[in-house]
Structure 1
Amino acid sequence: MSTRQRALIVDDEPDIRELLEITLGRMKLDTRSARNVKEAREWLAREPFDLCLTDMRLPDGTGLELVQHIQQRHPQVPVAMITAYGSLDTAINALKAGAFDFLTKPVDLGRLRELVATALRIRSANDAEGPVDTRLLGDSPPMRALRSQIQKLARSQAPVYISGESGSGKELVARLIHEQGPRGEQPFIPVNCGAIPSELMESEFFGHKKGSFTGAIEDKQGLFQAANGGTLFLDEVADLPLAMQVKLLRAIQEKAVRAVGGQQELIVDVRILCATHKDLAAEVAAERFRQDLFYRLNVIELRVPPLRERREDIPLLAETMLRRLSEGTGIAPTRLTDDALDKLKSYRFPGNVRELENMLERAHTLCEDEQIKASDLRLADTPCSTEAGEASLAQIDNLEDYLEDIERKLIMQALEETRWNRTAAAQRLGLTFRSMRYRLKKLGID
């Protein structure tokens, strides 16, 4: 019996089936062919497969139905959809249903070979039991669900929109999706879209040719080229200006980029993951973000829970962070008193895991006797330690003063988390730099 890997080809057009069989045969794969959904199901019930390629339109059903069947009965088999040219809606629906990727007709053989190679790497990754990753800490139900979703999304090539508040760990989630998938050995390129000046954005993303503008003293590779074969993580994607959104959409759809000043397009094979702490659907509604780009990026949404939704994870997170802070010092890890731990559990954590880390680092530095007391956390009078709306009228003498106090504490927190970088703090709070400067002056914060 052959030990070669096996692919199932599902298409009602004999010419397409023959083309796919010849191409996959040259890649040393055994192939089986089906003309419709019924035959495909019969083959899947009879033999194990390492890959399935299916057309969208079939005589007795659709490729989507077959994708859903494979997801339910044979989830270990990667399946790719073959769609008509320009039918982006169909391709996106296939990815949402569980297809790992798609091809458009007429089939580009180079693209087909890349897709098959990726699918076989997915299958190998499924068969190998890798070490459990310990970076995404927590045993709460939301975290167990998140780890399970990461594992499933790692098998796909679909774009993923990672939503969540600042400091909740969106980049770590993106990195784990990349590392656990077939691109894990290839580059993972993270980029903060809000940190690139708008005039340099096209050059940063797509590269430039020497002499294409003043200061371009040599050819420069862009982020898409650097991520070729791997993953490009667009953090704070909502901060992209509209002009750049158009160019990004074209690069994603065409799978090709052109350097500034360049004449030729370069084919790039990049998986796109993106994140923002803003509500991207609301940004679309306000016409600050293009609907067509949102539709292309938000094929699958993955929500990272805020820390206040998984308070039971706080003891483990705190213990791990304090152990890391003491590593290499030769001193036993700093310990939280019961009162301090209770204080952390009742705090709302607007800055999430990043805020917890900064808070413990400060307390670790200032505490005595390797013991962090509740007072070392400096949380006693913070309005955010209760859920919004919990303050009663009896506790408020003057509404203006009360709101000003909340504003001052949140601005101070943002400044501390960004190491007193006022531009970064303003960005975290959703303010313009001018508005931030006005508030600092009004509140007397130097």
Structure 2
Amino acid sequence: MNGLRVLEKLKKLHSHIKVLVVTGDGDKDTVQSAFALGAESYILKPLSPAKILAAIKEVLSRDPGYHFSDIATDEPKMAALLEQLIVIAKTDASIILKGESGTGKELLARTIHNQSRVAEGPYITVNCPAIPEGLAESELFGHIKGSFTGASQDRIGKFEAASGGTIFLDEVAELPISTQVKLLRVIQEGTIEPLGSNQVRQVDVRIVCASHKDLRQEVVKGNFRHDLYYRLAEFELRVPSLSERKVDIPKIARKMVAQYCSELKKPLISLSDDVLEQMISYSWPGNIRELCSLIKKLIILNKPGKSSLSKIPPHLLVQVETSTVPQTPLEIQETKSQTLVEIEKAAIKVAIEQEKHNLSRVAQRLGIGRTTLYRKLKAHGIPYARNKTTTEKFGGQLDSLSRTGFFKGVVQSLKQKSDADLESFLTHASQQLEEHYQFMLDAANRLDWPQLGIACGSFKTLVASLDASDLDRACAKLIEDQSNGKPHEIFASLERVRQEINKVQEVILVCGKGQMKLVS
């Protein structure tokens, strides 16, 4: 009797048991059959205690089987949304959930799946911003062995894993255009083509997307394909922010208190009317996610033997409040009748005046990169002074930078160009290093050695293009440890890579005289 047969009999006898399937190759037929028979997830060999423990924790951390009836609300906008979703969930229609970050879009997506015709199928979440552009196609559509450096075996993508169920594309607006083209094909034809393969595979997937951005505006800006938008937006629904649901805050807060007291093994506490009033008065820029964080802090900090919370310490709310995006200038707030393009142009002009034409600080104030700022200045026809050449601005720093062997040849080729060109290149390099590192770290934390191998191979290619010798050596050691599959050595190597990335980013800051907005 093989493992799938055991799974089938086990689920018939004890349907409530959560089952993880162990497989040696990640074969798509095996994985899909396991999901179809009720498996929660699968683990690739070779096994280790840490790898098994991580998989168990991931499954146990998932949200319970929510239904729309579990989401209580007295707010008319939220009630109307739930009424629509109850009807739409039973169809195969694609849905876009739009709204501010932290409003509960992922919970609604899982609930849609739970009440759909594919509720017994897999539910796969994809965090689109977390995927480096070079790995997006492999992550979503899979690859075959040898298709690129680090692809040591065939691997199915998220869409194939979700076949027969639902895939949730969180922050779908962040997908690169090249990946959007291939996603459109999946929707139109119901097929995927793994990276490196010339054979198409059939998939049957319900797609639910979420975005905090206005996808229509992203289409206008050229950041999102209009044909893909219309395919995904069969229903586009807005999720209200928590500040619009203040009538629901006491109910949500009490439910969270009960949940987290149980999870943290703390005595159940009550919330006084003063605490609830503080919560209702607060603006909640982080929405429900921020409320969750606050409730946890209050429970953890609550003194033993105290059964009721009478007041929220002011610093817990002020701390979050001051971390929000600076308010838009008054001049912009009052232009409600203007178009978004006009508002953007006015906002840039105000920022330029307030920062006395220092474009580095203007970009920082607006929360965008300098390259993006230059593009917007040109698009809006806003005049700006040409920057000095790199040689004029940095003097002998570039020569000393070249002698270190870092970015060999690149600095010389950019010497006579504007500092904006150089900063654009270096900023992109820094961001790519950060994204690839986070992708490797995520795979290591999940003890997903095949995915870590892919991420390491892609990282090696990036590092080679930068000619940073110390980072290259740290990368080589990481790849060696990944091949050996020893968790302790892998995390030690990742820490060395982190240190070398920090050094590279310090060099970049020196080159830009600390004016570039970098990911750190």
TM-score range, shorter chain: 0.5 to 0.7
Residues 110-189 of structure 1 aligned to structure 2 (within 5 Å): 133=68, 135-189=70-124
TM-align CA RMSD: 3.7
Report deviation, 1:328: 5.7
Structure 2 Cα separation of the partners of residues 272 and 142 of structure 1: 24
Closer/same/farther in 2, CA of residues 146 and 210 from structure 1, 3 Å limit: same
Residues 200-239 of structure 1 aligned to structure 2 (within 5 Å): 200-239=135-174
Closer/same/farther in 2, CA of residues 232 and 329 from structure 1, 3 Å limit: closer
Report deviation, 1:330: 6.0
Structure with larger RCO (C-alpha < 8 A, sep 6+): 2
* 2:311 aligned with 1:374: yes
1:374 match: secondary structure: coil
What amino acid is the match of 2:317? L
What amino acid is the match of 1:260? L
Please tell me whether the aligned partners of residues 278 and 312 of structure 2 are also in contact (alpha carbons under 8 angstroms): no
Identity among equivalent positions (%) equals 44
Please tell me whether the aligned partners of residues 186 and 192 of structure 2 are also in contact (alpha carbons under 8 angstroms): yes
Structure 1 Cα separation of the partners of residues 318 and 197 of structure 2: 59
Aligned residues: 280
* 2:322 aligned with 1:354: no
Closer/same/farther in 2, CA of residues 238 and 328 from structure 1, 3 Å limit: closer
Residues 36-435 of structure 1 aligned to structure 2 (within 5 Å): 133=68, 135-327=70-262, 331-368=266-303, 369-376=306-313, 378-379=316-317, 382=321
Structure 2 Cα separation of the partners of residues 133 and 291 of structure 1: 31
Structure 2 Cα separation of the partners of residues 260 and 140 of structure 1: 47
Please tell me whether the aligned partners of residues 67 and 111 of structure 2 are also in contact (alpha carbons under 8 angstroms): no
Structure 2 Cα separation of the partners of residues 389 and 198 of structure 1: 31
What amino acid is the match of 2:126? V
Structure 2 Cα separation of the partners of residues 258 and 372 of structure 1: 56
Structure 2 Cα separation of the partners of residues 176 and 168 of structure 1: 14
Closer/same/farther in 2, CA of residues 228 and 314 from structure 1, 3 Å limit: same
Please tell me whether the aligned partners of residues 123 and 165 of structure 2 are also in contact (alpha carbons under 8 angstroms): yes
Higher helix share: 2
Please tell me whether the aligned partners of residues 67 and 114 of structure 2 are also in contact (alpha carbons under 8 angstroms): no
CA offsets per residue over residues 239-286 of structure 1, 9 Å max, x none? 011111111111211110111111211111111111111111111111
Structure 2 Cα separation of the partners of residues 140 and 184 of structure 1: 28
CA offsets per residue over residues 4-24 of structure 1, 9 Å max, x none? xxxxxxxxxxxxxxxxxxxxx
What amino acid is the match of 1:271? R
2:245 match: secondary structure: helix
Structure 1 Cα separation of the partners of residues 204 and 71 of structure 2: 28
Report deviation, 1:139: 2.9
Consecutive unaligned residues of structure 1, counting only runs of 5 or more, are: 1-129, 392-398, 411-421, 424-432
Please tell me whether the aligned partners of residues 348 and 384 of structure 1 are also in contact (alpha carbons under 8 angstroms): no
Structure 2 Cα separation of the partners of residues 237 and 174 of structure 1: 13
CA offsets per residue over residues 415-445 of structure 1, 9 Å max, x none? xxxxxxx98xxxxxxxxx99xx99x999xxx
Residue 19 of structure 1 aligns with which residue? none
Report deviation, 1:313: 0.5
CA offsets per residue over residues 277-300 of structure 1, 9 Å max, x none? 111111111111111111111111
Higher strand share: 1
What amino acid is the match of 1:379? L
Q: Which moved more, 1:228-237 or 1:361-370?
A: 361-370
Report deviation, 1:334: 2.2
CA offsets per residue over residues 151-185 of structure 1, 9 Å max, x none? 11112111111111100011111111111011111
Closer/same/farther in 2, CA of residues 257 and 132 from structure 1, 3 Å limit: closer
Closer/same/farther in 2, CA of residues 390 and 310 from structure 1, 3 Å limit: farther
Closer/same/farther in 2, CA of residues 344 and 389 from structure 1, 3 Å limit: farther
1:327 match: secondary structure: helix
Please tell me whether the aligned partners of residues 350 and 384 of structure 1 are also in contact (alpha carbons under 8 angstroms): no
Please tell me whether the aligned partners of residues 180 and 225 of structure 2 are also in contact (alpha carbons under 8 angstroms): yes
CA offsets per residue over residues 41-70 of structure 1, 9 Å max, x none? xxxxxxxxxxxxxxxxxxxxxxxxxxxxxx
Structure 2 Cα separation of the partners of residues 365 and 305 of structure 1: 29
Report deviation, 1:380: 5.4
Please tell me whether the aligned partners of residues 347 and 384 of structure 1 are also in contact (alpha carbons under 8 angstroms): no
Report deviation, 1:341: 1.1
TM-score if structure 2 supplies the norm length? 0.49
Structure 2 Cα separation of the partners of residues 190 and 389 of structure 1: 34
Structure 1 Cα separation of the partners of residues 67 and 174 of structure 2: 34
Structure 2 Cα separation of the partners of residues 358 and 274 of structure 1: 25
1:183 match: secondary structure: coil
